[in-house]
Chains A and B, each alone.
Chain A
Amino acid sequence: MKPSKPYRVFRNSALVVVVFALMAPLLWMIAASFKTNVDIYDTAKAFVFSPSLKNYETVLQQANYLEFIGNSLWVAFAATTLSLLLGVPAAYSMSRFNMKKSALVVLMARVIPGVSLLVPWYYVFSNLKLVGGFSVLILSHMFVSLPLIVYIMMGYFDGLPTELEEAALVDGLTHIGAFRRITLPLSVPGVATAGILSFIFSWNNFMFALVLSGSDTKTLPVAIFDFVGYASIDWGGLMAAATVVTLPIMLIALFVQKYVVSGLTAGATKG
């Protein structure tokens, strides 16, 4: 049942429109990051301009972005690792023992508006003088990571046959041994999916860092605002900053596309 020719022509032209609509703005942002501010204001130079690295110099040297890149990496890495340590065994238990209510409690974290967590955290942590440090920031990012990891891993463990574990028990392994030596090695793709998604969400997170980070612990999404002044905007610098923030995560996602897609659609087809 090969599609008819008119349909194929229609489909291909529709897809060209879709791809253009999704890609053009991103390419425009990257192009603008290589323009001087004079060229950005000159509509005649919209497509033809002489590329300059000056904006990237501003971003990486004057605006101290290397430090913010380090902060973002550290927070995303730490939050993801800790959430995996807590989340993977929990997801296993919830999947094998069918703990629907407990799972619901963890998944509530996805539903609650971030601000309603921030107010009490801010109360407690500023009294403990922890606001502005990495520990609170990492803790807050775990609220995005942990439910995500539990959600993805529960789906993964649900789909893993229990026969292998049962065979391992017959062969003399304990339940925990079977989890550690049989189930966990089989779950590497699932853990990779969950870890990658958690890293992306933490990297992109803005609101928690906006309130809880200090000048030393600022993450990239917050640092972008350094280029937005009250009176004027350094458009070239802003576009270079936006590119520095988002291009690495887009490249990582392309590299591990299969995992990202399976993580984003996890549980969607089970109904």
Chain B
Amino acid sequence: MSAVLTPRTDSPEAPAASVDTTSAWSRWANEHRKWLFAAPAMAFVAVLIIFPVAWTGYLSLTDAEGSVRAESEFIGFQNYLDVLTDTDRFWPAVWRTVLFTGVVLFFEVILGMAIALLLWRPFRGEKWVRVAILLPLVATPVAVGMMWRLIFDPNIGMANQLLGWIGIGPQPWLAGQHSALPTTMFIDIWQWTPMVVLILLAGLTSLSDEPQEAARIDGASSWQRFRHVTLPLLMPTVIVAILLRGIDALKTFDILYATKGRGGGSFHEVETLNVYAYGLSFDYNDYGVSSTVLIIFFLIIIGVMWALTYRKKGLGR
């Protein structure tokens, strides 16, 4: 080892001038490597995220609309007043967002847990099941929306044919004013339950077998072992799954736009906050109001995340 170190030791007569200049830069770089490494990414994020969010905040206080070059006036909290008293589009959109997120999370976590438990112990053909789990997850959401649009078509879709075979009349599915939102929830559950399966399966595999064994020896039934041993140990992972899926479910856009188009359909039947904000911005160019909706939406997301991480900390220990 000392042989390797010899040329580097700081003997007074050693290095030539050219080495000195590079090592000065190299010494500086090494000393400041923490920020040298992190700064570019952080600057990128800061310029293109913090600035836009700040600008969205500013726009929400103006009457900006029409062309992006048009003059706009500062109008204080007028937009917030308008939006928060809008029971025609805004509050229904809030309700749909909450309902959509709540329902898909409920089913995705229950189904995801059930499937993860089925896959937990090794079995023959495991590889093929894992392939089936992975495919919906990586499929392009817009293409998935189009796929279900054909299956749920009231006239030619396979869904109504299947119902016909078991003697149930045709349903309007995506075309119905009241059935559209549940149908889009179904599509979301189809595509994203596998995500919950993968996360919970990773959690299950990392658990040690000993508590399970101990409970078994004490005569606990398999339900008791799940309820009182596995589930509490797995809870932190469940919360992570809820957190990750919850953030994305609140922001669902692709499948709603693919199946119902602009404005969430002609009666806005699947118009969530994200779809509403998109429509205000890019169909109506009503930037002031859309920014207001976005700021409120953003606060809702932060609130939900905060509540969940707070709960996670409480449960984790």
Contacts and interface: CB of A to CB of B under 8 A. Distances in A.
Interface of A: 1, 3, 8, 11-12, 14-15, 18-19, 21-23, 25-26, 28-29, 32, 40-41, 43, 46, 86-87, 89-90, 92-94, 96-97, 99, 102, 105-106, 108-123, 126-127, 139, 142-143, 146-147, 150, 170-172, 174-176, 179, 200, 203-204, 206-207, 210-211, 220-221, 224, 228, 235, 238-239, 241-243, 245-246, 249-250, 253-254, 257, 260-261, 264-265, 267-269, 271
Nearest to A11: B118
Given A114-B253, A250-B135, A99 B68 contact: no
29 contacts: A12-B123, A19-B128, A22-B136, A32-B150, A89-B36, A90-B37, A106-B42, A108-B45, A113-B297, A115-B294, A116-B53, A116-B294, A117-B48, A123-B55, A147-B45, A171-B5, A174-B30, A204-B142, A206-B141, A207-B253, A224-B258, A242-B146, A246-B139, A254-B131, A257-B130, A260-B138, A265-B201, A267-B240, A271-B240
A120 B62 CA distance: 14
B287 interface: yes
B293 to A, nearest CB: 9
B203 A150 contact: no
Contacts of A257: 130-131, 134
Nearest to A121: B52
Interface of B: 1, 4-5, 7-8, 26, 29-30, 33-38, 40-42, 44-46, 48-53, 55-56, 59, 68-69, 115, 118-119, 121, 123, 125, 128-144, 146-148, 150-151, 156, 158, 161, 190, 194-195, 198-199, 201-203, 206, 216, 236-237, 240-241, 244, 247, 251, 253-254, 257-258, 261, 274, 277-278, 281-282, 287, 290-291, 294-295, 297-298, 301-302, 305, 312, 316
B142 A25 contact: no
Given A8-B123, A146-B44, A172-B4, 13 more contacts: A22-B194, A26-B147, A86-B40, A109-B49, A113-B294, A113-B298, A114-B251, A114-B253, A116-B53, A176-B30, A221-B140, A239-B150, A242-B140
A25 B190 contact: yes
Nearest first, the 8 A-B pairs at minimum CB distance are A90-B41, A271-B236, A120-B52, A93-B37, A89-B37, A242-B143, A265-B202, A116-B294
Nearest to B161: A43
A146 B8 CA distance: 38
Given A93-B33, A93-B37, A127-B68, A18 B118 contact: yes
Given A26-B147, A112-B298, A264 B137 contact: yes
Contacts of B161: 43, 46
A3 B121 contact: yes
B150 A146 contact: no
Contacts, number: 280
Nearest to B59: A119
B129 A18 contact: yes
Given A118-B281, A123-B68, A127-B69, A142 B202 contact: no
Q: Is the interface of B mostly helix, strand, loop or mixed?
A: helix
Contact of A119 (B51, B241, B290): B290
A268 B241 contact: yes
B38 A94 contact: yes
A84 to B, nearest CB: 11
A190 to B, nearest CB: 16
Given A146-B44, A268-B203, A26 B134 contact: no
Contact of B133 (A22, A106, A117): A22
B26 A142 contact: no
A172 B8 contact: yes
B13 to A, nearest CB: 19
A119 B287 contact: yes
Contacts of B254: 206-207, 221
A147 B141 CA distance: 20
Given A249-B139, A257-B131, A142 B146 contact: no
A29 B140 CA distance: 13
A40 B139 contact: no
Contacts of B133: 18, 22
A271 B243 CA distance: 12
A249 to B, nearest CB: 6
A257 B138 CA distance: 11
A114 B254 CA distance: 12
B280 to A, nearest CB: 9
